[in-house]
Structure 1
Amino acid sequence: MQPQKATANVTGVPALQSAGILAYSAAIKRFDLLEPSREQQLARRWQERRDQSATDELVTSHLRLAAKVARGYKGYGLPIADLIAEANLGLVIAASRFEPGHGARFSSYAMWWIKATVHEYILRSWSLVKIGTAAAQKKLFFRLRGEIRKLAGETTALTPEMAQVIAGKLEVTVRDVTEMDSRLCGDLSLHTRVGDGDGSAEWEATLVDESPDAEEIVAEHDEVTRRSRALRTALEVLTERERRVFEARRLAEQPLTLEQLSCELSISSERVRQIETSAFAKVKRATILAARAGSEAMAA
């Protein structure tokens, strides 16, 4: 069962023009940052009494953080107002799940949820260009531009040599790199002519349909659904702390280091490693059992 979520009237940032964004930025500055003790107090009020005003105060005090994170993704060509709205949604989710008593600041905990919701929104918005859903493809999508800038300096043109280096670093193929670069640079008309002279042809005529047939699509969808269901079931065997470590170390696009998690959870790095190892073993066992049960149910 999904945990009850807090709601705050701050996620629906309208589609504003630049003047509206400036007004919004000015408005959120009036909310003061909280002391650690106040954050803990508010979190307890929500956990113990489901006090809506407590989560509202947690959220509003961190709206500037959400806006700052959202602006970091403006290079993807999406409305900044929508990015801020998604970041605020992540902030609300974080406020509803933040647990007091672990010694972590709310901002450290909220940052993960803010980035997760923004990433999900960007991937949904770019679905028309068939962005991959695999972890490696997502990492390539979010890091390609930065890697190109590191290698090329001020220029952003991808060369074959750069594609080779990036492919090795991000553990994808060179073709994945070049195709992702083309998608991020914008759509190309199918009627663009390629080649010279009599040998030229429209780009559409040179394309090869490598997409799977309907049977393969259905089979893949069923397999992905079965694995996702098994993983969700497996995660339920973990404690809250085990789940946080497992998700941050094994499921996140940019996994946190042992040191980062030790600071967040106020425990040693070695203890974080032990929790990760134990959680992974639990999830592996539970996933196998859940997958086996699903297969037996389908066979029956």
Structure 2
Amino acid sequence: MVSAKFAPESRGFKRYAAAAAAKEYLSLEREVELAKRAKEGGILAVRAEQALVEAHLRQVIKVASGYRNYNHSLDTLTSVGNVGLVKAAKKFDPSKGFRFATYARWWIDAELKDFVVRNASMVKVPSTKQTKTAFFKAPKLRRELEAQGMDEDTVLDIMADRFGIDKAEMAAVLAARGTATSLSAPVNSVEDGSATVGDLIADDAPSPEEIIIQTDEQDDNVRRLNAVLSQLNERERDIIRSRRLVEEPLTLETLATRYSVSKERVRQIEEKAMGRVRQALLAA
């Protein structure tokens, strides 16, 4: 279990952030070593899991910062994000080919989405993938539909159909959204031109709405890329993955040794395969 000393408290966030900043990023080899050891059980497994979590505390702060517009303190959001990070550390399998940072971001984000939806309103909103997606995407769609002159009932029908939930659930989602802090709300009670909540939030991180849209687009791109790669032979796939799709690409020399061919031959295979990949993706 991860040490409680890294759980942020209302007066301890600076210490938490300092501890996060002090931890070095893990190399791929060290990450794999820790992940494997964490599966073995015993005190060494606990320490390995702790090390894996502590090295990614900065990621919790980064992801949690994107949810500050929903009337929760960064202390609270970071604490929730930690839960997702610990879950990721317990479930991570390095043999799947993903870096832990990528895997952990999904778990941190999922935990925060669930928390925001559950605590957005006294109105009960079922916590499903469809309702969580609707919660973050609904405002943009609603504005688009209302701009077309549709009445409220028609808007509700279309939105419920778009997100795959029934009308009552859609109404509950909108009610929950209505309690979230508005970025246009003035800080003072009198609207005298004072700063708004949004003005006081300096954050370059994408909003939760943008994260959901980006995630959908990334998932679609991954599916398309995998479909294209499946059309290549095994050697071509390995060369493309090893040269273009990993954080630390292999050299031509390494792959030449692996396949007992010249470096120039590896380069030719890579270029030819990449040409096929580009053509297929453009046509998809």
Q: Give TM-score scaled by structure 1 length.
A: 0.51
Aligned to 1:25: 17
Structure 1 contact 88–114 (Cα < 8 Å) conserved: yes
- 1:49 and 1:186 map into 2 onto residues whose CA distance is 44
- 2:102 and 2:223 map into 1 onto residues whose CA distance is 10
Q: Secondary structure at the match of 1:57?
A: helix
- 2:224 and 2:94 map into 1 onto residues whose CA distance is 16
Q: Secondary structure at the match of 1:90?
A: helix
Q: Deviations over 1:29-68 (max 9, x none)?
A: 1111111111011112222354222211111111111111
Structure 2 contact 122–176 (Cα < 8 Å) conserved: no
Change (3 A) 1:77 1:93: same
Change (3 A) 1:101 1:127: same
CA RMSD of aligned residues (A): 4.0
Aligned to 1:13: 8
Return the offset for 1:138. 2.7
Structure 1 contact 66–87 (Cα < 8 Å) conserved: yes
Structure 1 contact 47–99 (Cα < 8 Å) conserved: no
- 1:268 and 1:56 map into 2 onto residues whose CA distance is 39
- 1:163 and 1:83 map into 2 onto residues whose CA distance is 30
- 1:185 and 1:100 map into 2 onto residues whose CA distance is 41
- 1:10 and 1:92 map into 2 onto residues whose CA distance is 14
Q: Deviations over 1:81-128 (max 9, x none)?
A: 121111111111211221233332001111222122223323443463
Structure 2 contact 37–48 (Cα < 8 Å) conserved: yes
- 1:119 and 1:61 map into 2 onto residues whose CA distance is 23
- 1:148 and 1:11 map into 2 onto residues whose CA distance is 40
Are 1:181 and 2:174 an aligned pair? yes
- Count of residue correspondences: 192
Return the offset for 1:26. 3.6
Are 1:36 and 2:31 an aligned pair? no
Which of 64, 69, 75 does residue 63 from structure 2 map onto? 69
Q: Secondary structure at the match of 2:96?
A: coil
Return the offset for 1:80. 2.1
Q: Secondary structure at the match of 1:131?
A: coil
Q: Secondary structure at the match of 1:32?
A: coil
Q: Which amino acid aligns with 1:125?
A: N
Q: Deviations over 1:150-203 (max 9, x none)?
A: x49xx9xx974865664453234666545533332239xxxxxxxxxxxxxxxx
Change (3 A) 1:67 1:261: farther
Q: Secondary structure at the match of 1:29?
A: helix
Unaligned runs of 5+ in 1: 1-5, 188-252, 272-300
Q: Which amino acid aligns with 2:23?
A: F
- Sequence identity, in percent? 26
Aligned to 1:119: 113
Aligned to 2:219: 257
1:277-288 matched pairs, under 5 angstroms: none
Return the offset for 1:139. 2.1
Aligned to 1:91: 85
Structure 1 contact 163–174 (Cα < 8 Å) conserved: yes
Structure 1 contact 91–113 (Cα < 8 Å) conserved: yes
Q: Give TM-score scaled by structure 2 length.
A: 0.54
- 2:72 and 2:22 map into 1 onto residues whose CA distance is 27
- 2:123 and 2:220 map into 1 onto residues whose CA distance is 36
1:1-300 matched pairs, under 5 angstroms: 6-9=1-4, 12-16=7-11, 20-50=12-42, 51=44, 52-126=46-120, 128-148=122-142, 151=144, 160=152, 166-172=159-165, 177=170, 179-186=172-179, 257=219, 260=222
- 1:9 and 1:133 map into 2 onto residues whose CA distance is 28
- 2:57 and 2:89 map into 1 onto residues whose CA distance is 12
Aligned to 2:186: none
Change (3 A) 1:170 1:137: same
Change (3 A) 1:13 1:182: same
